[in-house]
Amino acid sequence: MVDVIVGDDGVSRCTWAAVEPETTYHDTEWGFPLTGDTALFERVCLEGFQSGLSWRTILTKRENFRAAFAGFDVEKVARFTERDVERLLGDAGIIRHRGKIEASINNARRASELIDAEGSLESFFWRYAPAAEHIPGSMTLSEDSTRLSKDLKKRGWKFVGPTTMFALMQASGMVNDHAYDCVTRPTVAAAIEDYLALQ
């Protein structure tokens, strides 16, 4: 079970959120329902770039990523060319990994296709949200994240393995993985409940 840590402000949070920039991200973003195609596409890309690295690395470079990837606008990134790949490989403000850069461009093209077929990334991704809760911190992947990963791979997406997709689910509110004693857990639970009630 995930423990909590009490910060200098006297607030109990998930242990990984003890210091900035993780604290603000934890309190205001992680686990809250993520909606909209741009936001979901950005998160898929950043989770892919995070693979093998710390999330702190991604957080500190997030604004650079947004500038480099045209605000993660699906249609704009889908039109990136080899010239853009070379530009990105020369950008010290992001993670310069050719495979991850090319995967993000490929995934923009696949995302455009998926939006045409399904109506939105939001409606597609959220259908994989699990129906039942689990013990926070008890897993790094799930049957649902494995099914999502397989479906995306069939559609030609890359860097979308089951563990990466579970991290996406945690971050985007499909799974509430805040520790039981974390101050943010009930707020996230209420936000998810409100989101689902509107669907």
Please check the confidence at residue 2 and state whether its pLDDT lies above 80.
Answer: no
30 is a catalytic site residue: no
How far is the C-alpha of 128 from the C-alpha of 72, rounded, in Å?
Answer: 22
| pLDDT confidence of residue 63 | 97
Catalytic residue among 16, 22, 25, 42, which? 25
Strands (E), the chain: 4-6, 12-14
Catalytic residue among 47, 122, 126, 157, which? 47
* Full-model pTM: 0.93
| pLDDT confidence of residue 166 | 95
How far is the C-alpha of 168 from the C-alpha of 31, rounded, in Å?
Answer: 9
Q: With contact defined as beta carbons under 8 Å apart, do 115 and 131 qualify?
A: no
What value does the mean pLDDT of the chain take? 94
How far is the C-alpha of 52 from the C-alpha of 41, rounded, in Å?
Answer: 20
Q: With contact defined as beta carbons under 8 Å apart, do 185 and 21 qualify?
A: no
25 is a catalytic site residue: yes
At 131, the pLDDT band (50, 70, 90 cuts) reads: confident
Q: With contact defined as beta carbons under 8 Å apart, do 193 and 33 qualify?
A: no
16 is a catalytic site residue: no
